[in-house]
Structure 1
Amino acid sequence: MKQLFSFILVLLLGVSTLSPSAFGAEKKAPSLAEKAESAILIERDTGEILYEKNGDEKLPPASMTKVMTMILIMDALDKGKIKMSDKVRTSEHAASMGGSQIFLEPGEEMTVEQMLKGIAIASGNDASVAMAEHIAGSEEEFVSMMNQKAKDLGLKNTKFQNPTGLSVEDHYSTAHDMSIMAKELLKYEGITKFTGTYEDYLREDTDKKFWLVNTNRLLKFYDGVDGLKTGYTKEAKYCLTATAKKGNMRVVAVVFGADTPKDRNSQITKMLDYAFSKYETSPLYKRDQVVGEVKVAKGKDKTVEVVTSEPISILNEKGQGKANMKKEVKLNKDLKAPLKKGDEVGTLIIKKDGKVVTTSPLLAKDSMKEASWWNFFKRTFTTFTKTS
């Protein structure tokens, strides 16, 4: 009798530990990153998560840190604070960086374009610090800018201590946060010219000609991959934030903590294959596309045109048909001059089947100076003559 009771108890306990999926009540998620500590897969334009594993686990990002470094470089270029042709001088501090480098010497000058090439292709720590000092005046101030940008992007589990990713205490990010950074970087369409280059040269016409080879081998072996950044340290192991585009759809895949480069690349490949086989996108807007205009009080002109800040698309599962989609433009009220080009002036909201799937900032297309007394006089005079 005791044996029968024990047998029944074992059966009951066994059944109670079965997951709902064992009864077919729960759809099984794909296993795409078994050999990574954390991973995520998103569609770039919508930001929709297609797969996630430990997405909010804080881990060392190694050289994937340079995704944020490149965001700040591209932002400075976009706002006209620096130009590709600007000369960047290498400090003693920048030249002293270890790890991956392009072997800059103290006092050596390169253009912003060459430095960006050294960062994106060769993961140059020296070039990263040189650019940080050029933009912010010091590495410390640049790191403050990195952390502020992380807050602006709504990243809650990221903290930077340097622009390189070299191992240091209290420097961390997550697969989720890294995917959002990649999404932000990719709105600058020119960045893939650098991150998508497999090999190139620096100092071409000198005795110090230097061959650059991209650390992202998937550029050569996976059709559509054109970025973004690998990472490796002993603590972080092998990491990669990758992006690929096929047709209208661009996706971002992130892997933290793979044991080998082969494992890292195979996990990314599986995620990319999954995305392109299962989903498709319908583009709605390009970046910098005019969607309307907004009134500006006390401005030289009465209104300024409003443009998109990034590409906008709708994501659908293949074979499911087009979703019921609605667009909504919300413009800020009580805007006052002066206004800078790129200032946020509203929000574009995309709803799919009644659910909000995308909220994206809308920007001022041009700067707006404050109106002079003469502008006010002409405006008042014109109004007077029209009504008299």
Structure 2
Amino acid sequence: MKCTNKKLSTKQKELRIRKIRKTVFLILFFLIALLLGTLALLLFSRMGTLREPMAYNRSLRMSGTVAKEGALLEEGIARNLCVGESNTPMDGIESREGEAAGLFDLQDKEILFSQNLHEKISPGNVNQLMAALTAYEALNPEDSVTIEPDDVVGRRQGTSCGLAAGNVVTVQQLLNAVLVYSADDACYALARAAAGDREAFVEQMNQKAQELGMTNTVFANVTGAEDENQYTTVYDLYLLFHQLLEYPDLIHAMGLTSYTMNSTKANGDLKQHLLDTDNPYMTGSLSVPKGVTVLGGKFMSAKEQYATALLVQNNYGDAFVLIVFRADSEETMNTRIWEMMEKVNS
């Protein structure tokens, strides 16, 4: 009997230990489940704002939107575009009479600020962005172009990157000269290579504008030289910038602070042309708020034409287009751009 009682006591101890282990396991299981559930709720509630800053990468291909005006584009296209009024005020950005301006959020597809969005403006050298886009789509960047006399620009005729008749240069180098230095002679060479002559190339530029929905834009020349028959709008320039986002090579070139163009002379000698950007935001001459990176664009401050069109990126990698035209001074224009940039990271 004593032996039997002792064996039963041992079994009871083993059962008790098993019960304790099961109880501890269940308690731990429920604690872990509760912790995971709480964490999941926190993440879900903060999903819209919980983002880590993304390191800037100029080669990043950004996409997601173009500007929208319902009356201009078909519904099937317009559904992916920004929505906004011709005049949209925003706290912290001062509106000035006569200015045409816009701040476009490509990530959330919004027009955050706008003024005279659809009024006609003279594009100036910003239309060289369309020239570069049109040439890029028509030509092979690795092809060579021989410069002809009609391509050459004298000192008082426009901006020259130093090309001379007989020089041989690649399409990519000409594109870089346009995007970095706003070189008129490079524009002429690209136009001839792509369409045979400048007039035919301008037709191609206007055709491309219509394809992009730029219905309030007409180009009259390749370089952006003043012409009463040439005009665009802030909204249409927004459409142009969005299309440029499809081509990382063009965005990269827009962001260069300088570029060395190599060409071959008629006698076979190599010639180098050092081109510094004409955009003070790329050189650092004009500062930007912390967390904002300028990817490129065009800047004009001459002959009483003050205009800036920029593609920028904030600390999270979101892209924005900032445009100011018809400012009454360079100081006013720069102030307006700064005000817009401060909204990019807010």
TM range (shorter): 0.5 to 0.7
Q: Write the distance in 2 (CA, Å) between the matches of 1:45 and 1:74.
A: 26
Whether the 8 Å CA contact 2:167–2:263 is kept in 1: the answer is no
Alignment-derived partner of residue 186 in structure 2: 127
For residues 377-388 of structure 1, the aligned pairs below 5 Å read none
Alignment-derived partner of residue 254 in structure 1: 323
Give the CA deviation at 1:96: 3.3
Q: Write the distance in 2 (CA, Å) between the matches of 1:152 and 1:33.
A: 33
Query: Aligned letter for 2:237?
Result: M
Alignment-derived partner of residue 123 in structure 2: 61
Whether the 8 Å CA contact 2:153–2:184 is kept in 1: the answer is no
- CA deviation profile, 1:50-96 (whole Å, cap 9, x unmatched): 110111111111100111112213323xxxxx322211122222213
Q: For structure 1, which segment, 260-269 or 239-248, has the greater mean C-alpha deviation from structure 2 after superposition?
A: 260-269
Percentage of matched positions with identical amino acids: 29
Query: Aligned letter for 2:93?
Result: L
Whether the 8 Å CA contact 1:182–1:241 is kept in 2: the answer is no
Alignment-derived partner of residue 100 in structure 1: 159
**TM-aligned CA distance change 1:43 to 1:210, over 3 Å:** same
Give the CA deviation at 1:164: 0.6
For residues 74-113 of structure 1, the aligned pairs below 5 Å read 74-76=136-138, 82-96=139-153, 98-113=157-172
For residues 1-388 of structure 1, the aligned pairs below 5 Å read 29-30=90-91, 32=93, 34=95, 37-44=99-106, 47-76=109-138, 82-96=139-153, 98-203=157-262, 208-219=271-282, 220=284, 221-222=287-288, 223-232=292-301, 234=303, 237-246=305-314, 247-277=316-346
- CA deviation profile, 1:103-131 (whole Å, cap 9, x unmatched): 21122221111111110110001101110
Give the CA deviation at 1:160: 0.3
Give the CA deviation at 1:244: 0.8
- CA deviation profile, 1:247-269 (whole Å, cap 9, x unmatched): 23000011112344443333222
**TM-aligned CA distance change 1:84 to 1:31, over 3 Å:** same
Q: Write the distance in 2 (CA, Å) between the matches of 1:129 and 1:204.
A: 16
Q: Write the distance in 2 (CA, Å) between the matches of 1:261 and 1:202.
A: 30
Question: Secondary structure, in 3 states, of the residue corresponding to 1:238?
Answer: strand
Alignment-derived partner of residue 364 in structure 1: none
Q: For structure 1, which segment, 157-166 or 265-274, has the greater mean C-alpha deviation from structure 2 after superposition?
A: 265-274
- CA deviation profile, 1:257-282 (whole Å, cap 9, x unmatched): 234444333322211221321xxxxx
Q: Write the distance in 2 (CA, Å) between the matches of 1:215 and 1:195.
A: 10
TM-score, normalization by structure 1: 0.58
Query: Aligned letter for 1:62?
Result: G
Give the CA deviation at 1:157: 1.4
Q: Write the distance in 2 (CA, Å) between the matches of 1:33 and 1:148.
A: 36
Query: Aligned letter for 1:264?
Result: M
- Higher-helix-fraction structure: 2
**Larger Rg over CA atoms:** 2
Query: Aligned letter for 2:338?
Result: T
**TM-aligned CA distance change 1:159 to 1:275, over 3 Å:** same
Gaps of 5+ in 1: 1-26, 77-81, 278-388
Whether the 8 Å CA contact 1:41–1:252 is kept in 2: the answer is yes
**TM-aligned CA distance change 1:44 to 1:107, over 3 Å:** farther
Gaps of 5+ in 2: 1-87
Q: RMSD of the alignment, in Å?
A: 2.4
TM-score, normalization by structure 2: 0.65
Q: Write the distance in 2 (CA, Å) between the matches of 1:255 and 1:46.
A: 21
Q: Write the distance in 2 (CA, Å) between the matches of 1:159 and 1:55.
A: 16
Larger RCO (CA within 8 A; separation ≥ 6): 2
- CA deviation profile, 1:167-213 (whole Å, cap 9, x unmatched): 12211111111111111112212222210001222238978533211
**TM-aligned CA distance change 1:102 to 1:276, over 3 Å:** same
**TM-aligned CA distance change 1:112 to 1:33, over 3 Å:** farther
Whether the 8 Å CA contact 2:169–2:263 is kept in 1: the answer is no
Q: Write the distance in 2 (CA, Å) between the matches of 1:202 and 1:164.
A: 19
Question: Secondary structure, in 3 states, of the residue corresponding to 1:144?
Answer: helix
Q: Write the distance in 2 (CA, Å) between the matches of 1:196 and 1:181.
A: 17
Give the CA deviation at 1:46: 5.6
**TM-aligned CA distance change 1:151 to 1:234, over 3 Å:** same
Query: Aligned letter for 2:223?
Result: T
